[in-house]
């Protein structure tokens, strides 16, 4: 196995508490030395001049669409997109076809991810069979199988039945697993297409009110208190939800939360011309909500920035707004959006950005080898990016099989130069290393 | 000033609306001639692309285009076929454009469909009603009808009653009327009058009796009880009792006040059967004015610079 010397970069490592100029020597898939002017005879030099060397990014929330919608994304293309975006691990959502509600499906996803080998694909399992919200999925079997599922969710919709939600939470305690919720009350959002407010009324689109989110979030926090289950709130979008999480944490509950780059960067103003690429659930909300999310990410109330990468077929997104599916691809823009919209204007330090994009999600998922610290003996899961370099988002040039991004044409700061998964470059000098089977 | 595509009445300022109404006035005389035709749009093709059945609007546009000597194609499509099977809206639009269509008049159940179409085609797009978003030509013909009666729209007290939340007619009318300086009050059960409508510059009331006496125009919207999810009011009977224009309420209107309705009428719900037939109900006059206003729009959007016959006002 080739040794690599990452030379001339700035190591920013939230878990190890480092931010310094240092070279990183990688040998046999692990970090063997971190320090100034390292020798490393025989090692291949990866130029990191002017770049940040960080722990590989970890995404808590990605839809890879396989099995079922391989026309939109596959584990191979999604992994390629992830590596290109600087990720070394991601949590694959279970709303596939068939649904990942049993050990066979999650093991298959896990094995396919390992076979592609561009990123650690960590499958999430469904809470209920078929995501129908009627009976428990094979929770224990998924937790105990080779894939070792740690996060369970019916993402796409909330679990409506409060009693079943309680029972699932109680049961998951046995495995110290996470109950993760897409917080939107089904009845309150039925038929809705965007945030309910002045803009939805003006555009003549039925709304999905913030209340739909924070009512479910409040219920789940109450149930987490009752059951002592770990709770993770997916893609928080409303100011009130941020406040609920803040209070739950102050109380000492085991509640974590994530926000997406699109909710941190955009508001419902993005829908003014019925751009279906900005249609997403939960919906883009108001500037007040966006500001509260940013503040929540900055003060740690929101633990992680997660993509909710949701590829959709072009012909489905290019239809009438009310018929178009909701979702945004995010794996290749998350880092740059975070740097451009949060770090550059001084809303978030670079260290905290990397904590939210890598260290915290790795900790939540219990991924030992990810999220840093960047220290001798640790698996070399690393991302090297040039924070000052800019690029323009051209959807057709992304590695994802789908192009549904509202950021087309945006100029973003932050270009991934190298990504290393256990010491092996998956991206080198900005190019994906392994030609994936597409 | 006259936009390339007419998607929302927001695109029209006071000058533009006045020009459209003045032109319509000139063109209305054509309708009264024995030979009801002008050569203005000879050689041009107007396509009515309708994803909802609406005979009245379609016929109105068809007559308007034909009276300006345009060729007219009617394309009736099924909105449900769009995603699951059949041709997409975009492909349909491209196909029609390839056939040399100059203007697409679009009616669609999805809000924003006209705006989306306008990004995909070079032909002029006229929104003939998109979901619950807007119906700008309906608003223009309503404004025309009111102006014909009252001479001006400035200061006119207009009460719009009914399902504001789901009404494209209400959206376009309120904004058009406010642009022209009218004083608009929206009335209905709170379930159908979202508070955000105050940002359009209209007042909101839940009590029809409190606002009727001053009204110059009482504009009634069609009401349906069955909507996705929970109904907006207990029964149609209760709606009629609280927000319907019955004979007693109609009698309280000022002598010269107008009763308007975009049709089709639910007799006995938003308007009592006998009130709809009162002479002051200008509902049929609205229909006739619709042709003139749509001629005016087609003329201004597709026609040359020449002045229409009859001149402005
Ligand atoms: Zn979700
Ligand atoms: Zn999701």
Q: CA A364 to CA A257: how far, in whole Å? A: 10
For chain A, give every residue range classified as CATH 2.30.40.10. Answer: 4-53+376-387+412-436
Neighbours of B109 (CB within 10 A): 16
Cross-chain residue pair A202–B132, CB shorter than 8 Å: no
Inter-residue contact A336 to A24 (CB < 8 Å) = no
Residue A91 · residue A61 · CB < 8 Å: yes
pLDDT band at residue A251 using 50, 70 and 90 as cut-offs: very high
CA angle, A202 then A206 then A210, to 5°: 95
Ligand nearest to the CA of A156: 1
Q: Mind telling me how many Å the CA of A199 is from chain B's nearest CA?
A: 9
Work out the angle at residue A393's Cα, subtended by the Cα atoms of residues A389 and A395, and round it to the nearest 5 degrees.
Answer: 145
Give the start-end residues of each E strand in A14-108. Answer: 18-27, 30-35, 44-47, 52-55, 57-62, 87-92
Question: Looking at the partner chain, which of A197, A201, A274 has a beta carbon nearest the beta carbon of B116?
Answer: A274
Residue pair A199/A163 in contact (Cβ under 8 Å)? The answer is no
- Can you spell out the DSSP letters for B2-40? --SSB--GGG--HHHHHHHHHHHHHHHHHHHSSS----T
Least distant ligand from the CA of A309: 2
Give B110→chain A minimum CA distance, Å.
6
What's this model's pTM, rounded to 2 decimal places? 0.93
Q: In this structure, what token pair is assigned to residue A143?
A: 């937790």
| Tokens matching residue A234 | 């997916």
Class of CATH domain B9-135+290-301? alpha beta
Contact criterion met (CB < 8 Å) for A319 and B90: yes
Q: At what angle do helices B136-150 and B283-302 cross, to 10 degrees?
A: 120
Mean pLDDT of the region A5-20: 98
The answer to whether A406 and A270 are in contact (CB under 8 A) is yes
Of A304, A301, A305, A299, the C-alpha closest to A261 is A305
CB distance B220 to B204 below 8 Å: no
**Average pLDDT value for chain A:** 97
Q: Do B9-135+290-301 and B136-286 fold alike per CATH?
A: yes
Which of A393, A385, A394, A392 lies closest to A414, judged by CA? A385
> Distance from the CA of A413 to the center of ligand 2, in angstroms?
25
> Which H or E run includes B157?
strand B157-161
* Radius of gyration of chain A, Cα coordinates, nearest whole angstrom: 20
Distance, CA of B17 to CA of B1 (rounded, Å)? 10
Contacts 24+ apart (CB under 8 A), B127-130: B127/B5, B127/B6, B127/B7, B127/B8, B128/B48, B128/B50, B128/B54, B128/B57, B128/B58, B128/B61, B129/B52, B129/B54, B129/B57, B129/B168, B130/A204, B130/B7, B130/B106, B130/B168
Q: What pLDDT sits at residue A21?
A: 97
Q: Is A413 helix (H, G, I), strand (E, B) or coil?
A: strand
B103-108 and B45-50 strand pairing: parallel
Question: Please, what is the Cα angle at A399 between A397 and A404, to 5 degrees?
Answer: 75
Report helix angle A210-227 to A239-250, nearest 10. Answer: 20
d(CA A151, CA A182): 13
Range(s) of chain A covered by CATH 3.20.20.140: 55-365
CB B185 within 8 A of CB B294: no
Nearest CA in chain B to A201: B196
Give A310 Cα–ligand 2 centroid separation in angstroms.
7
Strands in A299-358 per DSSP E: 304-305
* Listed residue (A133, A219, A146, A138) closest to A171, CA to CA: A138
Consecutive 10-residue runs of chain B (313 residues): their mean pLDDT?
Answer: 94 97 91 81 95 91 95 84 66 89 95 96 96 96 95 98 95 97 97 92 96 95 75 91 94 92 84 75 78 96 60 38
Our answer to whether residue A120 is catalytic in this structure is no
CB A105 within 8 A of CB A99: yes
Active-site option among A308, A352, A386, A429: A308
Closest chain A residue to the Cα of B89, Cα to Cα: A319
Q: What is the pLDDT of residues A379-405, one digit of tens each?
A: 999 999 999 999 999 999 999 999 999
* pLDDT tens column, A296-334: 999 999 999 999 999 999 999 999 999 999 999 999 999
Q: What is the pLDDT of residue B35?
A: 75
The average pLDDT across A63-69 equals 97
| Contact between B153 and B179 (Cβ < 8 Å) | no
C-alpha–C-alpha distance, residues B152 and B129, integer Å: 26
What is residue A346's three-state secondary structure?
Answer: coil
pLDDT, residue B280, reads 57
Q: Is B19 exposed, middle or buried (0-12, 13-18, 19+ CB in 10 A)?
A: middle
Domain spanning A4-53+376-387+412-436: which superfamily?
Urease, subunit C, domain 1 (2.30.40.10)
Number of CB atoms found within 10 A of residue A72's CB: 25
Least confident of A225-229, A232-236, A270-274, B286-290: B286-290
Question: Å from A207 to nearest chain B CA?
Answer: 11
The whole-number average pLDDT for the span A221-243 is 98
In chain B, domain spans: 9-135+290-301, 136-286
SS3 A38: coil
Contact A205 B131 (CB under 8 A): yes
Residue A190 Cα to ligand 2 middle (Å): 17
Return the CATH number of the domain spanning residue range A55-365.
Answer: 3.20.20.140
Cα-to-centroid distance, B197 and ligand 2 (Å): 32
How much is the pLDDT for B264?
80
From 1.10.1740.10, 3.40.50.1370, 3.30.70.20, 1.10.10.60, which CATH number describes the B136-286 domain? Answer: 3.40.50.1370
């Amino acid at each position: 196995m080739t040794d690599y010397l990452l030379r001339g970069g700035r190591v920013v490592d939230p878990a190890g508490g480092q931010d310094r100029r240092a070279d990183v020597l990688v040998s046999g898939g692990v970090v063997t030395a971190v320090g100034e002017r390292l020798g490393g005879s025989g090692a291949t030099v990866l130029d990191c001049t002017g770049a940040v060397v960080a722990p590989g990014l970890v995404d808590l929330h990605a839809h890879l669409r396989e099995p079922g919608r391989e026309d939109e994304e596959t584990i191979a293309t999604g992994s390629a997109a992830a590596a290109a975006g600087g990720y070394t691990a991601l949590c694959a959502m279970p709303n596939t076809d068939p649904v990942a509600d049993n050990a066979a499906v999650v093991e298959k996803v896990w094995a396919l991810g390992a076979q592609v080998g561009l990123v650690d694909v960590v499958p999430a399992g469904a809470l209920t069979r078929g995501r129908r919200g009627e009976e428990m999925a094979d929770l224990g079997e998924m937790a105990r199988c080779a894939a070792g599922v740690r996060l369970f969710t019916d993402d796409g919709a909330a679990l409506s039945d409060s009693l079943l939600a309680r029972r699932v939470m109680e049961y998951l305690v046995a495995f110290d697993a996470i109950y993760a919720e897409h917080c939107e009350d089904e009845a309150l959002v039925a038929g809705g297409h965007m945030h309910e407010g002045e803009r939805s009324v003006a555009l003549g689109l039925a709304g999905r009110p913030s209340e739909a989110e924070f009512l479910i979030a409040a219920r789940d926090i109450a149930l987490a208190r009752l059951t002592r289950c770990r709770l993770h709130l997916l893609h928080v979008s409303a100011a009130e939800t941020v406040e609920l999480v803040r209070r739950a944490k102050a109380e000492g509950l085991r509640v974590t939360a994530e926000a997406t780059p699109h909710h941190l960067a955009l508001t419902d103003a993005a829908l003014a011309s019925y751009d279906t690429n900005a249609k997403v659930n939960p919906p883009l909300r108001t500037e007040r909500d966006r500001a509260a999310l940013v503040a929540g990410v900055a003060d740690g109330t929101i633990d992680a920035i997660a993509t909710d990468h949701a590829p959709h077929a072009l012909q489905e997104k290019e239809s009438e707004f009310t018929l178009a599916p909701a979702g945004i691809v995010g794996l290749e823009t998350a880092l740059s959006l975070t740097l451009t919209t949060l770090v550059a204007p001084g809303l978030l330090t670079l260290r905290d950005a990397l904590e939210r994009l890598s260290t915290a999600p790795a900790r939540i998922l219990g991924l030992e080898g990810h999220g840093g610290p960047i220290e001798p003996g640790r698996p070399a899961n690393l991302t090297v990016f040039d924070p000052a370099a800019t690029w323009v988002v051209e959807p057709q040039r992304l590695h994802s099989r789908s192009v549904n991004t509202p950021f087309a044409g945006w100029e973003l700061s932050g270009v991934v130069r190298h990504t290393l998964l256990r010491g092996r470059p998956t991206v080198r000098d900005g190019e994906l290393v392994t030609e994936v089977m597409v | 000033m006259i936009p390339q595509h007419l998607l929302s009445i927001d695109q029209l300022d006071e000058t533009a609306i006045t020009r459209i109404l003045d032109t319509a006035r000139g063109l209305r005389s054509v309708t009264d001639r024995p030979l009801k035709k002008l050569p203005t749009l000879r050689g041009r093709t107007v396509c009515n692309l309708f994803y909802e059945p609406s005979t009245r609007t379609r016929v109105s546009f068809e007559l308007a285009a034909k009276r300006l000597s345009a060729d007219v194609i009617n394309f009736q499509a099924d909105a449900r076929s769009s995603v699951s099977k059949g041709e997409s809206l975009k492909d349909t639009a491209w196909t029609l454009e390839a056939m040399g269509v100059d203007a697409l008049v679009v009616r669609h159940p999805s809000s924003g469909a006209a705006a989306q179409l306008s990004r995909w085609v070079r032909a002029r797009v006229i929104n003939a009603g998109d979901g619950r978003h807007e119906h700008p030509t309906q608003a223009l013909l309503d404004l025309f009808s009111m102006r014909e009666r009252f001479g001006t729209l400035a200061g006119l007290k207009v009460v719009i009653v009914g399902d504001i939340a789901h009404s494209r007619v209400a959206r376009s009318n309120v904004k058009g009327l406010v642009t022209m300086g009218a004083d608009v009050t929206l009335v209905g059960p709170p379930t159908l009058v979202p508070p955000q409508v105050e940002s359009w510059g209209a007042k909101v009331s839940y009590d029809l009796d409190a606002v009727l006496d001053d009204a110059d125009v009482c504009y009634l919207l069609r009401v349906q009880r069955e909507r996705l999810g929970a109904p907006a009011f207990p029964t149609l009977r209760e709606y009629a009792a609280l927000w319907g224009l019955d004979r007693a309420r109609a009698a309280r209107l000022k002598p010269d006040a107008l009763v308007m309705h975009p049709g089709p009428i639910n007799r006995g719900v938003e308007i009592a059967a006998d009130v709809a037939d009162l002479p002051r109900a200008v509902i049929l006059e609205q229909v006739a004015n619709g042709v003139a206003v749509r001629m005016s729009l087609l003329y201004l959007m597709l026609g040359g610079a020449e002045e229409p016959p009859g001149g402005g006002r």
